[in-house]
Amino acid sequence: MISSIVNKAKTSRVFKNISWLVGGKVVQMIIAFVVNILTARYLGSSDFGLINYASVYTGFFASLCSLGLNSVIVKEMIEHKDKQGELLGTSIVLRLIASALSWISIICLSCLIDKGEPLTTKIVGLCCIGMLFQAFTILEYWFQARLESKVCAIATIIAYLIMSAYKVVLLVFGKSVEWFAVATSIDYIVIVAFVYMFYRKKSGPSFSFSWSTGKNLLSQSYHFIISTLMVSIYGNTDKFMLKHMLHNTSSVGNYGVAVQLCMAWVFVLQAIIDSFYPSIMELHKQDYEKYKKRNIQLYGIIFYVSLLVSVGITIIAKPVVLFLYDDEYIGAVEPLKVITWYTAFSYLGVARNAWLVCEGKQKYLKYLYGSAVVLNILINWLLIPKFGVTGAAVASLITQIGTSIVLPLFIKPIKENSILMLKGITFRR
């Protein structure tokens, strides 16, 4: 009886957590979506494509900046409540070092790859400033571990209000593309400031640094560093190859609009995953059968919510693009109809991380995503010259299906997870 009451209470907290995450992201999405539409229309497909191209560099280095710690920090804080200050402090220092080195590397790479395009290198450098502040977003996972995502939701809303106000000022005064590049860093700065303020208000433990703790964290997360790097490569290869194979940034702008539209709602999926994460971790230690059922339940929810939204987007793709972005972005319609189906498989892969951490099988991700990188580059190389932006969208979809479900079936240690996913998709228990 008592255990039943406790389970109900935990379930209630999980769904309240989802409510805050989703509610906060809804407000964020509405504000950001409207402002981004105005920005895309103002800049035009070429300059908007330049901003999107610059984000490729940030995407390539995202895994190095995060050090894969996002996937293990919640588990560590749940299991070692007395060491939370040390875990957070160590994580922040490690991520700061990685972010600074990554920013310097990005500038050097852009100077080499985009030689003779000083504006491109300048935009890349400005867009990547926010990487330095991302190190402190690790604090959000302290609130997640306590099922107190309300704090993160409030901080994010405030950050997006400020960033959006900044963009509106730029639109009113007709500022150049360089000013818009800076906007990509403002939200991180504000989020960090407010999350830290709430962290202190909640009497969060004082930060400390420990080399031994750092080594322990990296020993668990380095598999995620490699795998996330692979994900970053094939997740950004399309934009990079579009720019250099079609020799223009307008194609990147159209592709960016397609991605922006189909990703406008995925905060819902991330919120669901983040709120399931702590309960999956706890069930793994308490009741293995319920733990497997919880994973199956998560996969089913992610897949069918995505499926429903993708059907709607496919039907209304053209009128939505024309209404929101006008004729200049008509080239985004066909890739949007393709890439929207990518979402279901992409977020099944994100949801899988909880299972991998619990089972200690992170090391197999590098083989999985390494294969995906090769597959994605090959398909993009074959399809972009013939089908342009739509070819890049098809390449992303095929790669994501293979990475999430098909390829893991051939890697014995993680084959079980694909079976759990298929059970979730087919309503089997």
Amino acid (one-letter) located at 115: K
Assess if residue 4 is contained within a domain. Answer: no
Burial class (CB in 10 A: 0-12, 13-18, 19+), 339: buried
Amino acid (one-letter) located at 396: S
* Domain residue limits at 176: 12-425
Exposure class string for 15-46: b at 16+ Cβ within 10 A, else e: eebbebbbebbbebbebbbebbbbbbbbbbbe
Assess if residue 5 is contained within a domain. Answer: no
| pLDDT cut 90: percent of the chain above it | 14
Residues in the chain: 429
Assess if residue 1 is contained within a domain. Answer: no
**Tokens 């999985």 — which residue?**
368
Amino acid (one-letter) located at 346: S
Structure tokens at 110: 């852009």
Amino acid (one-letter) located at 35: V
Assess if residue 7 is contained within a domain. Answer: no
Alpha helices in 146-176 (DSSP H): 150-173
Average pLDDT value for the chain: 82
What pLDDT does 20 receive? Answer: 59
pLDDT in tens, 41-68: 888 888 888 888 888 888 778 767 777 7
Assess if residue 172 is contained within a domain. Answer: yes
Per-residue pLDDT band for 6 (boundaries 50, 70, 90) equals very low
Q: Residue 55's closest CA among 183, 245, 156, 173? A: 183
Amino acid (one-letter) located at 51: I
pLDDT in tens, 242-285: 988 888 888 888 898 898 888 878 878 887 887 788 788 888 88
Distance between CA atoms of residues 209 and 213, nearest Å: 8
Domain count, the chain: 1
Assess if residue 144 is contained within a domain. Answer: yes
Helix (H, G, I), strand (E, B) or coil at 102: helix
Per-residue pLDDT band for 169 (boundaries 50, 70, 90) equals confident
pLDDT in tens, 282-331: 888 888 888 889 889 999 999 999 999 999 999 999 999 988 888 888 99
Q: Residue 200's closest CA among 83, 85, 93? A: 85
Q: Are 285 and 318 in contact (CB under 8 A)?
A: no
Distance between CA atoms of residues 429 and 422, nearest Å: 10
Mean pLDDT confidence for 83-103: 85
Assess if residue 6 is contained within a domain. Answer: no
pLDDT in tens, 115-153: 888 888 888 888 888 788 877 777 777 776 666 666 667
pLDDT in tens, 187-243: 778 778 877 887 787 777 788 888 888 888 888 777 677 767 776 776 788 888 898
What pLDDT does 19 receive? Answer: 62
Structure tokens at 401: 């299906």
pTM to 2 decimals?
0.70
Distance between CA atoms of residues 54 and 119, nearest Å: 11
